[in-house]
Amino acid sequence: MRTHRPMAARVVIFAAILLALGPAEAADGSPERASAFATVLKWIPLLLSGFWLNILMSVLAMAIGTVIGVILGVSQLSKNRMLAGFAVLYTHFFRNAPWLVVLFFVMFLLPFNMRLGGFAVGIPDWVKATFGLSLPVAANISEITRGAILSIPSGQWDAGRSLGLSRGMIFYLVIIPQCVRRMLPPWMNWYAILLMATVLSSIVGVTEILTLTERVTASESRPDILLPIYGFVMALFFVFCYPIARATYYLERRFGVTHREAIG
Amino acid sequence: MEAIAAFAKNLYSTTGLNFSFIYDPFDRARWIVGIKTTILLSIASIFFSMIIGLIGTLLDRSRFRVVRTAIRGYVHVFRNTPPLAQLYFFYFALAPLMPYYVTAQGARQPYFDGFLWAVIALSLLQGAYTLEIFRSGLDAVPKDFVEASNALALGRVTRFCRIEFPLAVRICLPAMESNLVNSVKNTSMAYAIAVPEILYQATQIWGDRVNVPEVMCALLASYMVLVGAVSLFMRFLARRLAMPGYGT
């Protein structure tokens, strides 16, 4: 980077620019009405409670996606043809299917409740959405895992064998520890992408931050709060995702280079 | 065509699998409009994101710090905020500020419709990623080539157009493939602002016919075909552009 301002300062500057879009627009307004900025301020606790759900969904989906993804990634390189074939197929399919369509698929085709010992237990829609989001994440983690394992020089396998380690032991003691380092930057990157993708669940009816934003704008029904309130939502995500992007960039430069992809 | 329609109708009466968009003329028309809109949206957003990426890359190499900072700011904002929030920001927050005309019935009619806003939002989003890909491609051009062209006394423009850019394009191709695939996938977000693309039409059809699983499978298959077409095209391009003795 050419500038040498500390990262925190840059985050604040960008967030402030996003926020400043609001008050700049809110100059008009009769005296008895609260200013647009004050109106948005009033709703911020509600929006933050929605954002909490976004964070929760992203953390859970990342956990599920990582577990499934690592298993699939290892399976892709398995000697068992069936297992490898399934893992490759899953990975390609969910990497190429739009997230929103996968989300629709899961929301519509998963049951809305399940029987647990005679009781019907409802499955909240955000749980289903979390599961839906974890599927494409798993596919991408699977590809990262596969790439990381393949990037380990084959000499490492030979060295392990010469020490008398079994295939499984080489894998857990030699290969995996080296993979973790290489997987960390893209893994963090996918977490940021996932966090930004959680707002897609507003389309399928989860009450997260974007849904709440729409409700607030509908209840206030004043056009002058639209810019500041959407600006606030974007700034909020920015404050979370930009540091992750910077850290990813830093780690990538230390470990090697990969490219950031857009949500799809 | 008739035979396929008859088969789909027969399938419905015998198995209950209702592929209404095959035999029903109304649903079929909706489906075709959806596919066409998705393709058009993809092509338009890819085209404009390429232009944004290219111009942005040039500006990013500008002598003026203000210009560079502005470009960095654009890239960071669009890459680190949710694409759907960006789309809403454009469609709900910016659209009302845009010029409109009043129809004979007295209704406010904006000049920019949902489709246009989707193109704008998706182009700006994808443009930020394209810019980064071009930039890293240019950075990856070996310094020897630049030095060699300097030794031949080529001008800045000639050097860029004849040496750096053609090499950067070849370096970019693999990253560009996934970028273009994402462009196609991202068009599904236009559903949220009621652009009649394939996902929107699918929800309309299953809303009327209650045949969610059938339409859902056809929807996923359609996306697979579109994404596959993009991938095949990029592979073809990579083969056409391959330079002997210069690794991919």
Answer whether A252's CB lies under 8 Å from A16's CB.
Answer: no
CB contact under 8 A, A242 and B83: no
CB contact under 8 A, B83 and A99: no
Closest Cα in chain B to A25: B97
Interface of B with A in 81-100 (CB under 8 A): 81-86, 88-89, 92-94, 96-97
* Cα dihedral: B159, B163, B164, B170 (round 10): 160
DSSP, collapsed to helix, strand or coil, labels residue B59 as: helix
Convert the pLDDT of each residue in A107-117 to its tens digit: 888 877 777 77
Q: Which of B69, B83, B203 sits opposite A263 (nearest CB)?
A: B83
Q: What is the DSSP string of A114-167?
A: EEETTEEEEPPHHHHHHHHHHHHHHHHHHHHHHHHHHHS-HHHHHHHHHTT--H
In the prediction, which pLDDT does B171 show?
A: 87
Residue A188 near chain B (CB below 8 Å) = no
Interface of A with B in 114-143 (CB under 8 A): none
Residue B182 near chain A (CB below 8 Å) = yes
pLDDT above 60 (res A258): no
- Residue B52 carries which side chain, given as an amino acid letter? I
Please give, rounded to a whole number of angstroms, the shortest distance from the CA of A233 to a CA of chain B. 7
Compute the mean pLDDT over every residue in chain B, rounded to the nearest whole number.
88
CB contact under 8 A, B81 and A238: yes
**In 3D, which of A192, A190, A204 has the Cα closest to residue A95?**
A190
What values do phi and psi take at A97, rounded to 5? -85, 135
DSSP B61: T
Residue A259 near chain B (CB below 8 Å) = yes
- Residues facing residue B110 across a β-bridge: B100
DSSP, collapsed to helix, strand or coil, labels residue B108 as: strand
Please give, rounded to a whole number of angstroms, the shortest distance from the CA of A203 to a CA of chain B. 7
Closest Cα in chain B to A104: B216
- Chain A residues whose beta carbon lies within 8 Å of the beta carbon of residue B126: 262
Q: How many interchain CB pairs under 8 A, A with B?
A: 141
Q: Residue A197: in which H helix or E strand, if any? A: helix A176-197
Convert the pLDDT of each residue in A19-74 to its tens digit: 665 555 444 444 456 787 888 888 899 999 999 999 999 999 999 999 999 999 99
Convert the pLDDT of each residue in B65-114 to its tens digit: 999 999 999 999 999 999 999 999 999 888 877 777 777 777 777 778 88
DSSP, collapsed to helix, strand or coil, labels residue B100 as: strand
- C-alpha B50: how far from chain center: 10
DSSP, collapsed to helix, strand or coil, labels residue A193 as: helix
Which residue shows structure tokens 């290489």?
A182
pLDDT above 70 (res B165): yes
**Assigned token pair, B72:** 């960095």
CB contact under 8 A, B82 and A210: yes
Interface of B with A in 201-220 (CB under 8 A): 203, 212-213, 216, 219-220
Range name among A15-29, A87-101, B115-129, B182-196 with the lowest pLDDT average: A15-29
Residue B229 near chain A (CB below 8 Å) = no
Answer whether A225's CB lies under 8 Å from A23's CB.
Answer: no
**Residue A140 to residue A203: CA distance in whole angstroms:** 23
Q: Which of A101, A260, A262 sits opposite B83 (nearest CB)?
A: A262
Longest dimension (CA), chain B: 76
Q: What mean pLDDT is predicted for residues A124-148?
A: 93
Residue that wins the pLDDT comparison between B111 and A251? A251
Q: How many Cβ atoms from other residues are within 10 Å of residue B55's Cβ?
A: 13
**Residue B49 to residue B43: CA distance in whole angstroms:** 10
In the prediction, which pLDDT does B72 show?
A: 93
Closest Cα in chain A to B76: A242
Residues 6+ apart with CB under 8 A from B209: B18, B20, B27, B215
Residue A100 near chain B (CB below 8 Å) = yes
In the prediction, which pLDDT does A29 show?
A: 46
Interface with B, mutate which of A230, A242, A246, A249 (most B CBs under 10 A): A230
**In chain B, alpha helices (H):** 2-15, 20-23, 25-60, 65-79, 83-88, 114-139, 143-151, 156-158, 165-186, 198-209, 212-241
Share of chain A above pLDDT 90, in %: 47
Convert the pLDDT of each residue in A208-240 to its tens digit: 999 999 999 888 888 888 888 999 999 999 999
Residue A192 near chain B (CB below 8 Å) = yes
pLDDT-derived band at A11 (thresholds 50, 70, 90) equals: low
**Cα distances (angstroms) measured from residue B213 to each of B132, B224, B226:** 39, 16, 20
Helix axes B114-139, B25-60, angle to 10 degrees: 40
pLDDT-derived band at A163 (thresholds 50, 70, 90) equals: very high
pTM of the model as a whole: 0.85
Convert the pLDDT of each residue in A174-184 to its tens digit: 888 888 888 89
DSSP, collapsed to helix, strand or coil, labels residue A35 as: coil
Please give, rounded to a whole number of angstroms, the shortest distance from the CA of B182 to a CA of chain A. 5
- Chain A residues whose beta carbon lies within 8 Å of the beta carbon of residue B205: none
Interface with A, mutate which of B188, B189, B230, B231 (most A CBs under 10 A): B188
